[in-house]
């Protein structure tokens, strides 16, 4: 028995591998620009007028002339160099019809995804990323020169002092580490704050360091020891980005609370009061000051790129209007950077593109697709006005099979990575969603069996009677009703203000369920369950009872039933002991076949009733192109399906003692 | 021995004069549900074929400026020449007929930007036979958003949130539902039959490999996979059909494989092998006709489930936005559920339900007709 179980589980492995590999292939090979594919060429992209053939030649010339190729893009964990277009339109992308930027190359062989970038003197670049690495790389060749150790988790931000040799890095647990000179060991590592520090910035004279944390506080540190000197409060939620003004008289901050704030110091590094300057539509992810200090750009979840004039921001007007609002990204903007001449702006977004904008013409002049990755950070190239560097995380340009193996290596330890959308661990999200779906399906399954087996058996026993005909017609009709239609009808009839408003149709609880005592809580929960469960069970009633009827009829036709009757056994004993037990064998095994269908069907039910289970999680992940979550959900559902099959194997032996697994 | 039984039996079994399929047909005719399903399917197919003539904003036949034209038939021309490039190249070859005189053309320069409806009753349009429903399924009408059904507005089933006539969309939606159902099941049947024949007849490693692949595909969270693929690809009819076809073949594979395994040892196959008939010929000519019957039942049910999946996809917003799909209308019904727009939910739902019922009934009827145990 045990050895059979082990063998079954082992035989599941190739199936699981196959399923995950196929899913991986699909999401890896799918084109990267969903809006462009959905809405046709040039969705939301201005400026694609130039003739295609001519500009492609010009692009080729430009690439030859640049000779900035940093090596082939081989590793996904790449810091890329994008060339902004020299001319307003460098090329027209065949697929999107949009102006295309050219990726000039990428740094090689980073040990993991990169999340943060900072420029350093002497043509060096500081890269921070996954698994806590901080690298110093050559800006030109891309060669990694030094690796800094500091015992950090995933790096969320890095900063360099423009004067001294200081480098600071902070991780998602809020640990800040400081390195001085050429030392590999940090000069100081601060106690973790418990929440990510998403932005770091040195003051222009290099004496102080600012850190912005998800706890909503901005801290001023001694640059050499890291000691906290001042804490600035004013943001009511996490601060995502900081920019210190070029003259060192103040700084800008923005974050989840959507407000761009300007802080002016009374004496450098002293007290500062925030002044709200602009309220964005949604959270602000990135701030960037132009090299000449005259412009400030913000990138927000509201997908609009805004440019402010610094004199306006420093002025006394109560409300500041952006000098330019640039629209084009169709997903959240995650990174912004200026080119060296302060005239070109680069932006990176969750839509997996890097775009360049001409600030004088106020329009987009270039675009490139990162394929399948999110641009986390961008910095302008100090030397080359038209180039920009990005830290992109993505599954790009590596042979698919090696990416898959890498994914597999992590999954073996149940590490499904973090969600692209909210940085939460995928396992946490699954852990919250899985019990909901399993619970719903368990309730539905029990109900289906409890109702349809008696229905089917009775129909078989009373074969040919009116009961049999009516029940089979009713069940047949039920079977053909699409569940999304039934759900909509039920909501329309039972939980709409227009008609009866007796059953809730959103979620599994009312707002404020935590405050309820147990019994009202249970009643609330039960009421919320009625509609979703109703939509999950009725099709099962039809198919299972029909199946039960056929099986029972077949069994009743067997010789041993005739024998039992001939012996003179009472009919009830014949039916319920001899026939029923034998027909149960096949019915029980159907549970395994129902399971995958139910998990698939839960997508629709959870979507309609806004239940946060696996189906809705998967649906949202697909819409957000949240690859780690998609992969995890596929793996889990396949695993559950296989488990169901295994379970039915065991149920066989429970119901029918003759069957043994040797 | 056999002769003896035949002599002794009061009802001697004679070889039936009919072939297998005529028995099945006769059985099916006796099955009321199956026949109801069959006739509904016939009506659906006719509706789909005649959709451009049933609901359209152009006349079927008209005498326009002294010329007899057939504007509604343009939909069929599009069907014959479905590829734009081909159509354009044909145009550039100059069909030797000026567009205004080409009876199917949509270009009637004399209309001067007016629609057929505006020309109707004027001096130029001397005669016109209009479709019974004078709405185009994709015709936006900002003045008639979300109308409830009423005879006076001419929208007998109401309009949706873009002012499109629901009845016209339902009629043209038949084309979408049936073509997705038939083509995707066609794809899956071809794959399933080909692989099933191969696995069953060749056996050995091929069989093991194919069965393993089938197992993988069967354990897929299919609906989730379909959503994923459609969301990542262009949401077009072709893609939906392809994906449905590529994940739906496992059932047919198993049916055919089982039947082939059964047939492989039969005398006529062995005889064919002994005669040196090539393997592919045995598979196609000897085994396939005797193994294919259960697949037909599976095809009928498969069409029902493909229609269900397509409507579910469009309900979730992953359908082809350029074609009228029943599921998309229901999703509007859900969006406006609090405004009492019941027609957006009820009518398309009934259309889906009737289609599913018809194919399920027909499949059930076929299954019963092929089952020797139920044969009267």
Q: Could you tell me the two tokens for B297?
A: 């039942």
Of B316, B321, B338, the CB nearest to A498: B338
Sign of CA dihedral A265, A271, A275, A281: positive
Give the tens place of pLDDT for each residue, A369-396: 654 456 677 776 555 555 555 554 433 4
SS (H, E, C) A556-570: HCCHHHHHHHHCCCC
- Which residue, chain included where needed, has tokens 């110093």? A136
Name which of B231, B339, B353 is nearest A482 (Cβ-Cβ). Answer: B353
Overall number of domains in chain B = 2
The ipTM value here is 0.84
Quick check: A417 pLDDT over 50?
yes
Q: Which residues of B touch A25 (CB under 8 A)?
A: none
Name which of B253, B241, B236 is nearest B182 in CA terms: B241
Three-state DSSP class for A130? helix
Q: Do A482 and B225 touch (CB under 8 A)?
A: no
Residue B311 near chain A (CB below 8 Å): yes
Q: Which of B232, B348, B352 sits opposite A26 (nearest CB)?
A: B232
Which of chain B's residues have a Cβ under 8 Å away from the Cβ of A604?
312, 315-316
Dump pLDDT digits (tens) for A142-164: 677 888 887 888 888 888 887 76
Q: Which of B177, B211, B212, B221 to mutate to test the interface with A (most CBs of A within 10 A)?
A: B221
Judge whether residue A194 has pLDDT over 60: yes
Measured in angstroms, the CA of A625 and the nearest CA of chain B are apart by 8
Domain-terminating residue out of B130, B146, B175: B130
The beta-carbon neighbor of A18 closest among B216, B224, B340 is B216
Please tell me if residue B335 touches chain A, with a CB cutoff of 8 Å: no
Residue B144, in any domain of the structure: no
> pLDDT value at position B348?
93
Question: Which single residue is written with the structure tokens 């040195």?
Answer: A202
Could you report the per-residue pLDDT of A252-294, keeping only the tens digit for each? 999 888 889 888 887 666 777 788 888 888 889 889 888 888 8
Q: Does B333 touch chain A (CB under 8 A)?
A: yes
Per-residue pLDDT, A237: 84
Please give the Cα distance from A481 to A85 (Å, whole number): 56
Looking at the structure, do residues B244 and B313 belong to the same domain, yes or no? yes
The per-residue pLDDT of chain B, averaged, comes to 80
DSSP string, A243-266: EE-TTSSEEEEEETT-EEEEEEES
> Is B7 within the bounds of a domain?
no
Domain assignment present for residue B152? The answer is: no
Instruction: Judge: A30–B334 Cβ closer than 8 Å, yes or no.
Output: no
Which helix (DSSP H) or strand (DSSP E) does residue A213 occupy? strand A208-213
Q: Contacts of residue B208 in chain A, CB cutoff 8 Å? A: none
CB pair distance less than 8 Å for A637 and B221: yes
Of A96 and A130, more confident: A130
Report the sign of the C-alpha dihedral through residues B192, B194, B199, B201, in that order: positive
Beta strands A387-394 and A373-380 are antiparallel
Both B294 and B187 in a single domain? Answer: yes
pLDDT at B111 over 70: no
Specify burial of residue A138 (Cβ count, 10 A radius: 0-12, 13-18, 19+): middle
Q: B355 in a domain, yes or no? A: yes
Residue A371 to residues A106, A235, B88, B346, Cα–Cα distance (Å) = 14, 35, 33, 42
Q: Least CB-CB distance to B220: which of A482, A485, A638?
A: A638
> What is the per-residue pLDDT for A389?
56
Determine contact, residues A243/A251, Cβ cutoff 8 Å. Answer: yes
- The reported pLDDT for the residue numbered A381 is 59
Contact A482 B312 (CB under 8 A): yes
The per-residue pLDDT for A584 is 79
**Cα–Cα distance, B241 to B306 (Å, whole number):** 9
Q: Is B197 on the interface with A (CB under 8 A)?
A: no
Cβ(B349)–Cβ(B329) below 8 Å: no
Which B residues, 35 through 54, put their C-beta within 8 Å of a C-beta on chain A?
A: none
Query: pLDDT digits over A433-465, tens only?
Result: 988 988 898 899 899 989 988 898 888 888 888
Closest of A30, A615, A517 to residue B312, by C-alpha: A615
pLDDT at B189: 95
Could you write out the DSSP letters of every residue in B236-292?
Answer: -HHHHHHHHHHHS-HHHHHHHHHHHHHHHTSHHHHHHHHTT--HHHIIIIIIHHHH-
**What's the 3-state SS for A286-349?**
EEEECCCCCEEEEEECCCEEEEEEHHHHHCCCCCCCCCEEEECCCCCEEEEEECCCCCEEEEEE
pLDDT class for B210, splitting at 50, 70, 90? Answer: very high
Q: Which of B238, B241, B283, B253 is nearest to B191 (CA)?
A: B253
Residues B117 and B261 in one domain: no
Size of interface A-B (CB pairs under 8 A): 138
Instruction: Give the pLDDT of residue B194.
Output: 94
- Give yes or no: residues B206 and B320 share one domain: yes
Tell me which of A20, A37, A484 to substitute to probe the interface with B (most B C-beta atoms closer than 10 Å). A484
More confident residue, A203 or B188: B188
Contact A303, A333 (CB under 8 A): yes
Confidence of residue B109 (pLDDT cuts 50, 70, 90): very low
Which residue on chain A is closest to B319 by alpha carbon? A38
- From B130, B150, B179, the end of a domain falls on B130
Residue A611, token pair as written in the block? 């239940």
Q: Where are the domains of chain A?
A: 426-655
Chain B residues whose CB is inside 8 A of the A492 CB are 333, 337, 342, 345
| DSSP 8-state code for residue A425 | B
The residue segments making up the domain with residue B337 are 167-374
Q: Which class would CATH give A426-655? A: mainly alpha
Q: What is the pLDDT of residue A269?
A: 61
Q: Dump pLDDT digits (tens) for A37-69.
A: 322 233 233 333 333 333 333 333 333 322 222
| Residue whose pair of structure tokens reads 């904008």 in the numeric block | A357
Please indicate, yes or no, if residue B320 is contained in any of the structural domains: yes
Which residues of chain A make contact with B33, given a CB cutoff of 8 A? 476
Beta-carbon separation of A622 and B227 below 8 A: yes
pLDDT digits (tens, 9 = 90+) for A323-334: 888 887 877 888
Task: State whether B91 and B227 are in the same domain.
Answer: no
CA distance A166 to A120: 10
Domain assignment present for residue B12? The answer is no
CATH assignment at residue B206:
1.10.3720.10
């Amino acid at each position: 028995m045990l050895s059979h179980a082990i063998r079954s589980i082992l035989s599941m492995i190739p199936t699981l591998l196959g399923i995950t590999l196929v899913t991986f292939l699909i999401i890896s090979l799918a084109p990267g620009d969903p809006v462009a594919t959905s809405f046709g060429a040039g969705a939301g992209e201005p400026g694609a007028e130039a003739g295609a053939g001519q500009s492609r030649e010009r692009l080729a010339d430009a690439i030859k002339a640049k000779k900035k190729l940093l090596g082939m893009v081989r590793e996904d964990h790449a810091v890329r160099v994008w060339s902004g277009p020299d001319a307003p339109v460098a090329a027209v992308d065949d697929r999107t019809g949009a102006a295309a930027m050219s990726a000039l190359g990428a740094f090689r062989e980073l040990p993991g995804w990169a999340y943060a970038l900072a420029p350093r003197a002497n043509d060096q670049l500081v890269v921070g990323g996954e698994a806590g690495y901080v690298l110093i790389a050559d800006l030109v060749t891309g060669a990694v020169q030094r690796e800094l150790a500091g015992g950090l988790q995933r790096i969320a931000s890095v900063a360099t002092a423009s004067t001294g040799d200081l480098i600071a890095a902070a991780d998602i647990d809020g640990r800040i580490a400081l390195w001085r000179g050429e030392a590999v060991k940090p000069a100081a590592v601060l106690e973790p704050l418990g929440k990510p520090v998403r932005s770091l910035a040195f003051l222009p004279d290099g004496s102080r360091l600012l850190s912005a944390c998800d706890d909503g506080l901005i801290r001023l540190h001694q640059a050499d020891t890291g000691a906290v000197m001042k804490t600035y409060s004013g943001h009511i939620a996490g601060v995502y980005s900081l920019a210190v003004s070029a003259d060192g008289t103040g700084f800008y901050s923005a974050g989840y609370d959507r407000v761009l704030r300007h802080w002016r110091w009374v004496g450098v590094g002293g007290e500062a009061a925030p002044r709200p300057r602009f309220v964005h539509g949604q959270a602000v992810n990135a701030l960037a000051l132009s090299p000449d200090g005259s412009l400030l750009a913000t990138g927000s979840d509201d997908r609009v790129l805004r440019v402010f004039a610094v004199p306006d921001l420093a002025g006394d007007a109560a409300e500041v209007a952006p000098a330019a609002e640039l629209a084009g990204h169709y997903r959240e903007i995650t990174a912004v950077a200026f080119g060296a001449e302060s005239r070109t702006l680069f932006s990176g977004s969750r839509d997996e593109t890097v775009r360049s904008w001409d600030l004088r013409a106020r329009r987009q002049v270039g675009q490139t697709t990162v394929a399948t990755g999110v641009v986390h950070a961008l910095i302008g190239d100090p030397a080359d006005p038209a180039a920009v560097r990005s830290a992109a995380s993505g599954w790009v340009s590596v042979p698919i099979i090696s990416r898959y193996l890498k994914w597999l290596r992590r999954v073996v330890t149940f590490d499904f990575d973090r969600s692209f959308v909210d940085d939460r661990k995928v396992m946490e999200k699954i852990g919250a969603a899985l019990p909901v779906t399993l619970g719903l399906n368990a309730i539905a399954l029990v109900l289906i069996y409890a109702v349809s087996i008696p229905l089917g058996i009775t129909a078989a026993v009373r074969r040919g009677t009116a009961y049999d005909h009516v029940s089979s017609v009713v069940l047949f009709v039920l079977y053909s009703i699409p569940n999304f239609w039934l759900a909509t009808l039920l909501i329309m009839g039972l939980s709409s203000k227009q008609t009866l408003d007796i059953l809730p149709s959103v979620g599994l609880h009312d707002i404020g369920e935590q405050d309820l005592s147990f019994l009202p809580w249970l009643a609330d929960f039960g009421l919320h369950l009625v509609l979703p469960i109703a939509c999950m069970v009725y099709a099962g009633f039809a198919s299972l009872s029909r199946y039960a009827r056929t099986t029972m009829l077949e069994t009743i036709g067997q010789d041993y039933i005739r024998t039992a009757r001939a012996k003179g056994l009472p009919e009830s004993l014949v039916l319920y002991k001899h026939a029923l037990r034998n027909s149960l064998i096949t019915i029980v095994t159907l549970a395994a076949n129902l399971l995958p269908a139910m998990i698939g069907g839960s997508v629709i039910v959870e979507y309609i009733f806004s239940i946060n289970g696996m189906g809705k999680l998967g649906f949202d992940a697909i819409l957000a192109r949240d690859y780690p979550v998609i992969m995890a959900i596929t793996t889990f559902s396949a695993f559950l399906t296989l488990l169901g099959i295994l379970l039915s194997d065991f149920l066989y032996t429970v119901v029918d003692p003759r069957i043994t697994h040797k | 021995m056999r002769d003896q039984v035949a002599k002794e039996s009061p009802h001697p079994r004679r070889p039936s004069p009919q072939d297998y399929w005529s028995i099945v047909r006769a059985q099916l005719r006796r099955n009321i549900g199956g026949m109801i399903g069959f006739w509904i399917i016939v009506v659906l197919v006719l509706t789909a074929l005649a959709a451009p003539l049933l609901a359209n904003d152009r006349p079927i036949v008209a005498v326009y400026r002294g010329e007899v034209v057939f504007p509604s038939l343009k939909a069929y021309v599009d069907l014959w020449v479905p590829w734009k490039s081909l159509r354009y190249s044909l145009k550039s070859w100059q069909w030797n007929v000026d567009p205004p005189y080409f009876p199917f053309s949509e270009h009637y320069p004399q209309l001067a930007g007016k629609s057929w409806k505006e020309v109707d009753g004027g001096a130029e349009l001397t005669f016109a036979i209009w479709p019974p429903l004078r709405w185009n399924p994709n015709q936006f009408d900002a003045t008639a958003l979300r109308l409830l059904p009423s005879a006076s507005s001419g929208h007998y089933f109401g309009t949706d949130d873009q002012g499109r006539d629901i009845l016209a969309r339902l009629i043209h939606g038949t084309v979408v539902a049936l073509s997705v159902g038939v083509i995707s099941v066609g794809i899956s049947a071809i794959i399933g039959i080909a692989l099933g024949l191969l696995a069953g007849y060749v056996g050995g490693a091929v069989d093991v490999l194919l069965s393993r692949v089938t197992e993988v595909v069967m354990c897929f969270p299919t609906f989730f996979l379909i959503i994923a693929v459609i969301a990542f690809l262009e949401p077009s009819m072709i893609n939906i059909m392809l994906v449905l076809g590529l994940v739906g073949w496992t059932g047919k594979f198993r049916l055919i494989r089982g039947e082939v395994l059964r047939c492989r040892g039969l005398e006529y196959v062995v005889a064919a092998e002994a005669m040196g008939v090539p393997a592919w010929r045995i598979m196609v000519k000897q085994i396939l006709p005797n193994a294919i019957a259960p697949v037909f039942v599976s095809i009928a049910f498969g069409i029902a489930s493909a229609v269900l999946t397509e409507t579910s996809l469009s309900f979730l917003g992953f359908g082809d936005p350029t074609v009228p799909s029943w599921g998309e209308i229901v999703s509007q019904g859900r969006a406006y559920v609090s405004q009492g727009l019941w027609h957006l939910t009820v009518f398309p739902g009934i259309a889906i339900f009737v289609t599913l019922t018809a194919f399920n009934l027909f499949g059930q009827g076929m299954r019963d007709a092929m089952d020797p145990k139920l044969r009267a």
